[in-house]
Amino acid sequence: MIELFPGLRSIRAFDAAAQHLSFTSAADDLGVTPAAISHQIKELERQLGISLFPRTSRSMRLTREGEILHTAAHES
């Protein structure tokens, strides 16, 4: 079955990671492993066709697209 919309787990993982700017803190908040957060973020990025967090820097931040998605998620 083709998923047309991102799953709720992926959205929650993204929201927590965006709020904490840390996969570890997001994982602690949601009671899962950092690897699970990473997997959900990668799946969300694949479904949306965009990068939400840069993969090149040591410090974590949102991409422009990630900022837009995070803002939109909190406006609805």
Q: What is the pLDDT of residue 18?
A: 98
- Classified as helix, coil or strand, 19 is helix
Q: What is the pLDDT of residue 56?
A: 77
pTM of the model: 0.86
- Cα–Cα distance for residue pair 22/42, rounded to 1 Å: 15
The 10s digit of each residue's pLDDT in 3-42 is 556 789 999 999 999 999 999 999 999 999 999 999 999 9
Q: How confident is the model at residue 1 (pLDDT cuts 50, 70, 90)?
A: very low
38: enclosing H helix or E strand: helix 34-48
The CATH number of 8-75 is which of 2.60.40.650, 1.10.1740.10, 3.30.365.10, 1.10.10.10?
A: 1.10.10.10
Q: Apex CA 23: angle with CA 32 and CA 41, to 5°?
A: 85
Q: How confident is the model at residue 73 (pLDDT cuts 50, 70, 90)?
A: confident
The 10 Å Cβ neighbour count of residue 72 is 9
- Classified as helix, coil or strand, 50 is coil
59's tokens: 């410090």
